[in-house]
Amino acid sequence: MSGHEGDQAVWKANFSEKVRREQREDDSAAWNAVTGLLMTIITIGLSLALFTVWVCSSL
């Protein structure tokens, strides 16, 4: 048994199905928020980089 399977067994033994479902939903919401924020930062950075290239090429 790997460490991950052992963690799953402990998680299942100590939490009810309802609590595990709520934890997965909370984790999913947090993951979506983090990835959304990172994608926003990347998009803004790329936009600024393209704007800078456009301004420099116009000179």
- On the question of pLDDT at 3 being above 80, the answer is no
Any domain includes 35: yes
Any domain includes 3: no
Which tokens in the block code for residue 14? 């100590």
Q: CB-side exposure of 28: number of CA atoms within 13 Å?
A: 6
The mean pLDDT of the chain is 91
In this prediction, residues 24-47 reach a mean pLDDT of 97
Any domain includes 11: no
Domain tally, the chain: 1
23: CB partners within 8 A, 6+ apart: 15
Tell me which residue range forms the domain holding 21.
17-58
pTM of the shown model: 0.68
In this prediction, residues 9-29 reach a mean pLDDT of 92
Which tokens in the block code for residue 25? 């939903």
Any domain includes 22: yes
- In percent, the amount of the chain with pLDDT more than 70 equals 93
- In percent, the amount of the chain with pLDDT more than 90 equals 71
- On the question of pLDDT at 40 being above 60, the answer is yes
Any domain includes 1: no
